[in-house]
Structure 1
């Protein structure tokens, strides 16, 4: 198994069901503990892979408000 093999189904955020709801990403676990991310509107368009440490840093930034406008 390769590190970027997807080992769980893609999931969409529960926050995407309200409002416009069409602008969302889906996330799946990878074999190395990282994540694969894709656009829910165009899943065939490709994937972005995040290593485990990169994903953790991203989530920590979200929780800290680093990406708030």
Structure 2
């Protein structure tokens, strides 16, 4: 589900240190039990809210190379 940002909520958005100062990656933030994911190039466009199991499944899929198009 995609959500729009709420002005009153301050989140600690983080991105990989490997990306340096570039905005060509995703950022993540914790909000209660959810992991929020947004595009660093367009942070005001909204974000995905993932349950912990969904977040872990996404990380496993990325780490396994299942999204590499091979």
Identify whether the pair has TM-score above 0.5, normalized to the shorter chain: yes
Question: What range is the shorter-chain TM-score in?
Answer: 0.7 to 0.9
Cα distance between partner residues in 2 of 1:7 and 1:55: 21
Task: Using structure 1 for the length normalisation, give the TM-score.
Answer: 0.72
Aligned match of 2:18 in 4, 15, 23?
15
Segments of 5+ residues of structure 1 without an aligned counterpart are 1-5
User: Which structure ranks higher in relative contact order (CA pairs < 8 Å, sequence separation ≥ 6)?
Assistant: 2
Task: Using structure 2 for the length normalisation, give the TM-score.
Answer: 0.71
Aligned residues: 61
Q: After the TM superposition, which parts of structure 1 deviate over 3 Å for at least 4 consecutive aligned residues?
A: none
